[in-house]
Amino acid sequence: MTVGQMGRWQIGPLSLTIAHLESEWRVQYREAENNEEVLNDWTVAIPGDPLDEDANISRFLFGRTSDNLEVRPALADRALVVRPVNPLYLPPTERINLFVSSPLWIIASVGQGNTELVDVPIQRPSDTWFGPSTWEGDLCYAARTRARLDLTEIPPRPHRAITGVRIHNKGKQTMLLERLTLPMTHLTLYSDADGMLWTNDLRIAVEDRPSVVELRIKQSGQLGNKTLKRIAEPREAVENHVLQRALHAIFG
């Protein structure tokens, strides 16, 4: 985007405006108050509407600017704790496939070195603390989910990604799936030919040992007969894609 140009991105409820001026980039973003009316919006306009001088504007100053601007989607910058609308129970030896959607972030960067201007959620989830105590745990995001069993029941949203979760109860007791933590920073973002966005599938196995759960991150080059395109790398690398987690770190 050359000096003097301005662009506007409307992605779901997020409106992002970026202006390229001499020696600086200006950025303004806001979330729509009535989200329902814009949930399926995905438009790019260059030139875009001018910045609202009465709203907050972030200015990024450079001795010399490049015309190179990249705006790309990304997954959340923390783990996401999803709580089913209704409690789920998984009897012994049973396996279940769940589909969960999660909100995306947008990253805008400039120049050959990809200097980051913004890294913001399209629709910000609420914060939550997840762990066995106030002393042990992590700051995460919280979301509600209907934990769909049928993929066709999930409405397509341009600002959300879908994660397939397979849970296997190898133990002898019925499991209560009251909360589930998704390691979003370790996942890759993919798109299919229809423009829907996906993450790696997760495989979770719980045995009789009550303290340890195996969480496996599956590489997702295919989804059924669809070929997926890799569009964003994980924020944090995982060497062997198998995580040994304490039970509370997955299910609360």
Per-domain residue ranges of the chain:
6-67, 79-103+123-251
Q: What is the pLDDT of residue 109?
A: 95
* pLDDT score at 13: 87
3-state SS, one letter per residue, for 114-164: CEEEEEEECCCCEEEEECCCCCCCEEEEEEEECCECCHHHCCCCCCEEEEE
What pairing do the DSSP bridges indicate for beta strands 80-84 and 138-145? Answer: parallel
pLDDT in tens, 121-176: 998 899 998 776 777 778 899 988 877 888 778 877 888 999 999 999 988 888 88
CB 51 within 8 A of CB 6: yes
Q: What is the pLDDT of residue 55?
A: 75
Q: What is the DSSP letter of 194?
A: T
Looking at residue 190, its pLDDT comes to 94
Rg of the Cα trace of the chain?
A: 20
Identify the pLDDT of residue 156.
76
Residue 113 pLDDT: 80
**Any idea how long the chain is?**
252
| Per-residue pLDDT, 239 | 64
Q: pTM (2 decimals)?
A: 0.86
Q: Per residue in 102-134, pLDDT tens? A: 999 999 999 888 899 999 999 889 999 877 677
Contact status, residue 123 vs residue 13, Cβ threshold 8 Å = yes
Backbone angle region of 55, left / alpha / beta, with phi > 0 → left and psi within -120 to 50 → alpha:
beta
For residues 180, 133, 169, 215, the Cα torsion angle rounded to the nearest 10 degrees is 60
Please report the pLDDT score of residue 235 as a whole number: 94
Distance CA 15, CA 17 (A): 7
- What pLDDT is attached to residue 39? 58
CB atoms within 10 A of CB 14: 24
Given a cut of 50, the residues of the chain with pLDDT beneath it are none
